Amino acid sequence: MDLNGPIILAGALVGFAVGLTGMGGGALMTPLMVMLFGVNPTAAIGSDLAASVFMKPFGALVHQRAGTVRWDIVRRLLPSAVPAAFGGVFLLRALGDGDVLQQRVEYVVGTALMLAVAGMLVRIWLDRRRAATEIEDAHAPVRPVATLLIGVVGGSSWG
């Protein structure tokens, strides 16, 4: 195995940013691997998913112990997110293979990242519009259809 200084540095910086912000490492590291280091897009996504398999359960355990898991939302997300995750694999296979697939995956990843940035900006804008004295309700009602749709989108987007 070849240890590459720039990749190690990028991984350390991403880990530091994740620790500070809580933002998912895959959203940061996957584009870096593809754009800066020329890693095959499906390999970059696959490495993110492989790392998630080991890290996500620990995050879930921490939230469960802290009592911050909204089980009512989890029960609404699972019926759509889990099947959509498998559907995402079939969708990936339908996009083509070889260089055609890699280019299409790059577009999908780029689009997903742009939508994530737009969502964050909208959230900041909405938060600023809210009154400063208004306290966010931790037990806001669950919107079943919207939650199922979020499960489909989130589940099919390769993690």
More confident residue, 63 or 94: 63
| Cα separation, 152 vs 74, whole angstroms | 13
Instruction: Tell me how many degrees the CA angle 140-52-110 measures, rounded to the nearest 5.
Output: 80
The domains of the chain are located at 1-69, 70-159
DSSP 8-state assignment for residue 37: T
DSSP track, 91-130: HHHHT-SHHHHHHHHHHHHHHHHHHHHHHHHHHHHHHHHS
Task: For 107-125, write each residue's pLDDT tens digit.
Answer: 777 777 777 778 878 888 8
Task: For 127-157, write each residue's pLDDT tens digit.
Answer: 787 765 556 556 677 788 887 787 777 776 6
Task: For 34-85, write each residue's pLDDT tens digit.
Answer: 878 888 877 877 777 777 777 778 888 888 899 888 888 888 888 888 888 7
